Amino acid sequence: MRKSAVGLAAILVMGLFVGALAVAEGARAQSYPPPVGSLKVEAGTTAPGASTNVTATVLDNAGNPVQGATVTFRITSQPGSDAHWANGKLETTATINAKGVAAAVLTAGTTAGNIIVETVSGEKTSQVVVAVQEGLPSTGGTPPQGSESGLPTWQIAFLAIAAAALAGGLAIMARRSRRT
């Protein structure tokens, strides 16, 4: 009976540990401004006078999305003088969402050519070229929205392994109790 109690206590402690890991995923210490490990910028090709989205994905040094920080989008070069952001200026800022993405809407000027956009988040900078070409439809649109919930894959795998260990421990305890 004593061995069964020890085994049950071990299984209970393991279950509590796994539960604490699942709950602790949402509670992370945050530094401000968050450390930025990488800044990746993407933009589409557009027609003169049309709009397109410029998106920046910001990850910390561990490869996790940085949330809540800002990205500055700046037009550094353009073929004419009338390209601008949605705010009507040559520079705008956007807040990074839970997936580490910030987006800004760029309106191309009336002159075809390349618009060079610089983005800055923390100490990281990146550039992207937006091609403005005659006769092309705009590639802009609303950035894709996905589910912001769910467990990371490593937690699901860990929970599956823990469940298998729990089932195995219970099976061993049941066999031993039948023998006595």
Sign of CA dihedral 132, 137, 142, 148: negative
Looking at the domain 38-132, which fold is it? Answer: Immunoglobulin-like (2.60.40)
Token duo for residue 73:
């989008």
What mean pLDDT value characterizes the chain? 79
- Structure confidence at residue 22 (pLDDT): 54
pLDDT at 20 > cutoff 70: no
> Are the C-beta atoms of 140 and 53 separated by less than 8 Å?
yes
Amino acid making up residue 151: L
Mean pLDDT of 17-37: 53
Summarize pLDDT for 34-48 with one digit per residue, the tens: 556 788 888 888 889
Every domain of the chain and the residues it spans: 2-25+153-179, 38-132
How far is Cα 163 from Cα 11, in angstroms, rounded to an integer? 10
The residue written with tokens 């004419």 in the block is 80
pTM of the predicted structure, to 2 decimals: 0.57
3-state secondary structure of 7: helix
How far is Cα 120 from Cα 154, in angstroms, rounded to an integer? 31
Summarize pLDDT for 60-110 with one digit per residue, the tens: 888 888 889 899 999 999 998 999 999 999 999 999 999 999 999 999 999
Summarize pLDDT for 124-164 with one digit per residue, the tens: 889 999 999 887 655 554 445 554 455 677 777 777 888 88
Which DSSP category does 8 fall into?
Answer: H
Token duo for residue 121:
């988040």
How far is Cα 98 from Cα 174, in angstroms, rounded to an integer? 45
Q: Between 75 and 167, whose confidence is greater?
A: 75
